[in-house]
Structure 1
Amino acid sequence: MKIERLNADFGNSTNNFLIDSYYFEIPTCVVELTKEKAESHFTNSVDEVGDLLDRLLISTTIDDAERFFLVGKLAEDNPYSNSHVGKMHDKVNSDIPYAAFLAAIAYYHRVKNEDGENVAEIEVDSMKMMLPIWLLKKEEKFSIGQNKMANRFLGEHTVRLLTVGMETELTIKVVSSKCHMESEVARWALKYKMVNDKENLATIIEKRMESKKFEDNETVLVDIGGGSTDAVLLTKGLNTPVSKDSFQVIQITPFLGSLEKLLKEKLIQYFTDLRSLEKFIVTNYKNQKYILKNQNTGAKYDLTDQVVEMLKEYAELLVYKVMEPFNSNSKGVLKYIYFGGETPILAPYIKECVKKMTSEEIMENNHYFLGELLEDDKKEIFKPASRTINLAALEILSLNERKSK
């Protein structure tokens, strides 16, 4: 089997994959099992490939030892599945991105070869991923961290899919691997978009009309993730940052860590784990009313005050931390673009804080949120959302590379 383009965003909440234009997500939950527990985990076989994404159990060899991992939804209820959320997650050395990568390839192979072979070789022409700025800043040069991450995936890998009914053994060879700078890479998807040509025969890259708003100003990209928040100062026209100082790590508790604190201190009687609280907030954030309903008893619990208080406090500190490093050094009017997985949840409170710190006029003219910025275009392929813009940018870079070859 041949894969031309494998783009991966190893997030702290969700791993997002775009493999030859096929998009899917795997929750960032990985739990290692003993061989005995892995072999006895399933009581029933999985007969439909559509159910596989929720039931990923794999093994691989690391340092000459076979290791077993539950990946994604299957691992969500395990008490060890969120060990990475309360602190900054070192993706260069963690087993979590590697296990997610192997599980993603195993799943993709099954989807595309539902009745195919159980033993196969897969060649990946080009793989792209990213690292957050705080990890890159640990190194003397960003390129050192980027090469470390890219080299994790370069070369040959083996994985066994152990899900009963879907057993598969794969040898994976990654021919080319490249790691980009998270947040900064998003500028490609802010400047350009992927569209179908007139005959719908090919994908072409077009300039976004919306990018004209940023032609005459330096712009700060604010990427609010579950694990870290990065801010990058771009030159006029959404172009390349000037120096290492243009990249700022926002010193704030990871959003998922703050959510876990809220769970432990105020909502422990309502939710069994962090993921269920996170899903509750994602389901209800649009109307800013957080009413928990017990589907078995019909009981309702209004948790709005507790949740909104936490979100407001987080947004207030975030806005201060984001604006403070750039305002003093700016040569002109700065514009800000907010994206990242947690941005839609925090957006109303960020707007409130910016207005309070500056004015309504500055908020309206200089601060943009991705969901409100990008225009609808029926021709556009994979229009980026707040949590997929980095991935869309990787796909644009992958397509550009293919064209140049």
Structure 2
Amino acid sequence: MKIERFNSDFGNSTNNFLVDSYYFEIPTCVVEISKEKAESHFTNTVDEVQDLLDRLLISTTIDDVERYFLVGKLAEDNPYSNSHVGKMHDKINSVIPLAVFLAGVAYYHKIKNDDGENVAEIEIDNMKMMLPIWLLKKEDKFSIGQTKMSNRFLGEHTVRLMTSGMETELTVKVKNSKCYIESEVARWALKYKMINDKEKNATAIQKRVESRKFDDNETVLVDVGGGSTDAVLLTKGLNTPVSKDSFQVIQITPFLGRLEKLLKEKLIEYFTDLRSLEKFIVANYKNQKFILRNQNTGDKYDLTEPIVDMLKEYAELLVYKVMEPFNNNSKGVLKFIYFGGEAPILSPYIKESVKKLTNEEIMENNHHFLGELLEDDKSEIFKPAARTINLASLEILSLNERKSI
């Protein structure tokens, strides 16, 4: 099998993949287990390939040692599955991105493999990924960290899919690999969109009309993730940052870490683990009411107050930390664009906090949220959401490379 474009966003909550225009997600839950536990894990076979994404068990050889991993939803209930959320996650050295990548390749091979072969070779022409600013700033130059990350995937890997009924052995060869800067790379999907050109029967890259709002102002991109929050100051027209100082790491507790604290201190009797609390908030944040219903007993619990209090407190500190490093150094009116996996959850509280620090007019004119910013276009392919805009940018860059070749 040959893959032309393998775009990866290794998030702290969810891993998002766009592989030759096919999109899928894998929760960031990885647990290493013994060979014995791996070989006896399944009691029943998985018959439908559509169910595989929830049943990923792989082995791979790292430094000449075969290691075994539960990946994604299969690992969610394991007490060790969220070991990375309470601190900054070093994706360069962590085994988690590599394990999820290989599991993702195995899943993609199964979902696209019509002839059912169980031993195969996968060749990936171009792989793209990203690293957060805080991790790149640890190096003397960003390029050093980017090269370290891209080199982890470059070359040959072996992976054995051990899911019962789906057993497969793959050799994965990555020919080219490149790592970009999280949050900064999003400017590509803010300036451009991928559309279906029916006349040419091809995908075309087109300038976004809505990007004109930022032609005359410097703009701060705020990427609110589960593990870290980055902010980057772009020059006018959503163009390249000027210097290393344009990239800021927001010194705030990781959102997932703060959520885990809320679970332990106030909600431990209602949720068995962090992921179930996170899913509950994601399912209910739009109306800002958090009512937990027991589907077996019919009991209802109103958890709105502790959850909203936490979100408000987090948003208030976040806004202060985001605005403070840029306000004194800007040459004119600054615009802000908020995105990232946690931005939709926090958006109403971010708006409240901006109004409190400034006023309503400044909030309305200068602070933008991705879901409200991008216009609907039926011809657009893969319209980015707050949690997929970085991935959409990687796809635009991949398509541009193909065009230039």
Tell me the TM-score range normalised by the shorter chain. Answer: over 0.9
- Structure 1: which amino acid aligns with 2:58? I
Match status 1:92 vs 2:92? yes
Q: What is the alpha-carbon distance in structure 2 between the residues aligned to residue 46 and residue 174 of structure 1?
A: 28
Matches within 5 A, 1:330-341: 330-341=330-341
Q: Does 1:245 align with 2:245?
A: yes
Q: Give matches, 1:71-82, under 5 Å.
A: 71-82=71-82
Q: Deviations over 1:24-79 (max 9, x none)?
A: 00000000000000000000000000000000000000011100000000000000
2:304 maps to a residue whose letter is T
Letter in 1 for 2:23: Y
Instruction: Quote the residue 2:369 is aligned against.
Output: 369
Instruction: Quote how far apart the aligned CAs of 1:199 are.
Output: 2.9
- What residue identity is the alignment partner of 1:209? V
Could you tell me whether the CA contact under 8 Å between 1:344 and 1:386 is conserved in 2?
A: yes
Deviations 1:77-109 (A, max 9, x none): 000000000000000000000000000000000
Query: TM-score scaled by structure 1?
Result: 1.00
Corresponding residue for residue 316 of structure 1: 316
1:378 matched to 2:381? The reply is no
Dislocated runs of 4+, deviation >4 Å? none
Post-superposition Cα deviations, 1:126-180, rounded to whole Å, max 9, x if no partner, equal: 0000000000000000000000000000000000000000000000000000000
2:151: which partner in 1? Answer: 151
Deviation at 1:287, TM superposition (A): 0.2
> Could you say which residue in structure 2 is the equivalent of 1:59?
59
Question: Which secondary structure state, in structure 1, belongs to the residue aligned with residue 375 of structure 2?
Answer: coil
TM-score (structure 2 length as normaliser): 1.00
Query: 1:88-237 residue pairs with structure 2 within 5 A?
Result: 88-199=88-199, 201-237=201-237
The answer to whether structure 1 residue 279 and structure 2 residue 279 are counterparts is: yes
C-alpha deviation, 1:270, in angstroms? 0.1
The structural deviation recorded for 1:198 is: 2.9
Which residue identity is paired with 1:382? Answer: F
The one-letter code of the counterpart of 1:32 is: E
Which residue identity is paired with 1:377? Answer: D
Letter in 2 for 1:260: E
Q: Which residue of 1 aligns with 2:50?
A: 50
Contact 1:61–1:158 (8 Å) recurs in 2? yes
Q: Corresponding residue for 1:328?
A: 328
Paired residues of 1:49 and 1:114 also in contact (CA < 8 A) = no
Deviation at 1:201, TM superposition (A): 1.0
TM superposition shift of 1:243: 0.1
Query: Which amino acid in 1 is paired with 2:199?
Result: E
Instruction: Return the offset for 1:19.
Output: 0.1
Task: Using the TM superposition, give the Cα deviation of residue 233 of structure 1 relative to its aligned residue in structure 2, in angstroms.
Answer: 0.0
Q: Report SS of the residue matched to 2:86.
A: coil
The 3-state SS of whatever aligns with 2:126 is strand
Q: Which runs of 5+ in 2 are unaligned?
A: none
The 1:45–1:114 alpha-carbon spacing in structure 2 relative to 1, beyond 3 Å, is: farther
Distance in 2 between the 1:12 and 1:114 partners?
32
The residue type paired with residue 334 of structure 1 is: L
What is the DSSP-based 3-state SS (H/G/I as helix, E as strand, rest coil) of the residue aligned with 2:355?
A: helix
- 1:377-397 CA-to-partner distances (Å, cap 9, x unmatched) read 000000000000000000000
1:26 corresponds to which residue? 26
Alignment partners' CA distance in 1, 2:5 and 2:332: 40
* Letter paired with 1:328: N
Residues 6 and 128 in structure 1, CA contact (< 8 A), matched pair in contact too: yes
Give the C-alpha shift of residue 116 in structure 1. Answer: 2.0
Structure 2: distance between partners of 1:317 and 1:146 = 30
> Offset at 1:114?
4.3
Distance in 2 (CA, whole Å) between partners of 1:357 and 1:78 is 42
- The AA in structure 1 aligned to 2:298 is G
Provide the C-alpha distance between the structure 1 equivalents of 2:57 and 2:129, rounded to a whole number of angstroms: 23
Q: Which residue of 2 aligns with 1:266?
A: 266
Residue identity matched to 2:164: V
2:35 maps to a residue whose letter is K
